Amino acid sequence: MLRLGVNIDHVATVRNARGSPWPDPLRAALLAEEAGADGITAHLREDRRHISDDDIARLAEALRVPLNFEMAATAEMQAIALRHRPHAVCIVPEKREERTTEGGLDIVADESRLADFIAPLREAGSRVSLFIGHDPRQIDAAARIGAAVVELHTGSYCDLDTEGRHAARDAELAGLADGARLAASLGLEVHAGHGLTFDTVGPIAAIPELAELNIGHFLISESIFTGLGPAIREMRRCMELARRGTGS
Ligand code: PXP
């Protein structure tokens, strides 16, 4: 089964645009649970531009489905993760000037520091996931340092599809499929996410080694028009059709 993790960061983006208490990301998370989300993902950025510390505390307290806590590899974030002990911690690279998480982690360049960084999180019982591109050197390094999961970055694949660059998109898809196969062969659980839409999710969901997709911005955007529950249910339908080999 392919799980769907719903990322609720951009509910907080809208809330923070007005400094009001609404829309409340926790309410969105509970609605997503009801609509069949298998997990909730939230990224506490260092600049707190969307999700807040209080959101994480409330999510950790109230959710019935697993919380996937996305964070940069900093001491501050590690302390917060150790306080809440979420089901999963997904380590992402973070640059203040970026609009969103633009690339994957460079584990190879930072291997011993990342190995030390994730050890206490593992000991606290969180499944550690590393957000990376499909470069085999990064996948090998993730396995070496003891991550449980790699999440493969689908952002380039989605951008190439939007730009109509189909040959490059197909090459990127092949790289993601090869990466997923390699990661699974090394005993890693394989997730994917970033930029996925109803149009792009099918070929990704069809990669058999994938266990989970994390999808946020498009679902929250779509919920303006259809509501969050219908958007999530339609995404699940696209995923399931692709898994059954009938396209999305
Ligand atoms: N996975 C990771 C690791 C991410 O950083 C993000 C974006 O926060 C997502 C998935 C979801 O991406 P999107 O919001 O584009 O669906």
According to the model, what pLDDT value does residue 95 have? 77
On whether the pTM is more than 0.85, the answer is yes
Q: Which long-range contacts (CB under 8 A, 24 or more apart) does 105-110 make?
A: 105/73, 105/130, 105/131, 105/132, 105/138, 106/138, 107/132, 107/138, 107/141, 107/142, 107/145, 108/137, 108/138, 108/141, 110/73
User: 147 alpha carbon to ligand 1 midpoint, in Å?
Assistant: 19
According to the model, what pLDDT value does residue 248 have? 45
C-beta 9 within 6 A of ligand 1: yes
In the residue annotation, 194 being an active-site residue is answered as: yes
> What mean pLDDT is predicted for residues 83-98?
90
pLDDT tens digits, 201-233: 999 999 999 999 999 999 999 999 999 999 999
The answer to the question of residue 135 being in a domain is: no
According to the model, what pLDDT value does residue 63 have? 98
Question: Above pLDDT 90, what percent of the chain?
Answer: 94
In the residue annotation, 70 being an active-site residue is answered as: yes
Strands 3-7 and 39-43: parallel
C-beta of residue 78 within 8 angstroms of C-beta of residue 88: no
pLDDT tens digits, 28-85: 999 999 999 999 999 999 999 999 999 999 999 999 999 999 999 999 999 999 999 9
> Is the pLDDT at 24 greater than 50, yes or no?
yes
Task: State the chain's mean pLDDT as an integer.
Answer: 96
The answer to the question of residue 134 being in a domain is: no
User: 50 alpha carbon to ligand 1 midpoint, in Å?
Assistant: 13
For ligand 1, what atom is nearest to the CA of residue 193? 10
The answer to the question of residue 75 being in a domain is: yes
According to the model, what pLDDT value does residue 90 have? 98
> Is the pLDDT at 101 greater than 80, yes or no?
no
In the residue annotation, 50 being an active-site residue is answered as: no
Neighbours of 134 (CB within 10 A): 25
Which CATH number characterizes residue 43's domain?
Answer: 3.20.20.70
pLDDT tens digits, 153-164: 999 999 999 999
C-beta 50 within 6 A of ligand 1: no
The answer to the question of residue 205 being in a domain is: yes
The answer to the question of residue 129 being in a domain is: no
Instruction: Name the DSSP class of 98.
Output: -
- C-alpha closest to that of 3 among 230, 215, 213, 246: 213
Q: Structural domain tally of the chain?
A: 1
According to the model, what pLDDT value does residue 103 have? 81
The answer to the question of residue 164 being in a domain is: yes
ω before 23 within 30° of 0 (cis)? yes
The answer to the question of residue 131 being in a domain is: no
For residue 196, the enclosing domain spans 3-123+140-244
According to the model, what pLDDT value does residue 247 have? 56
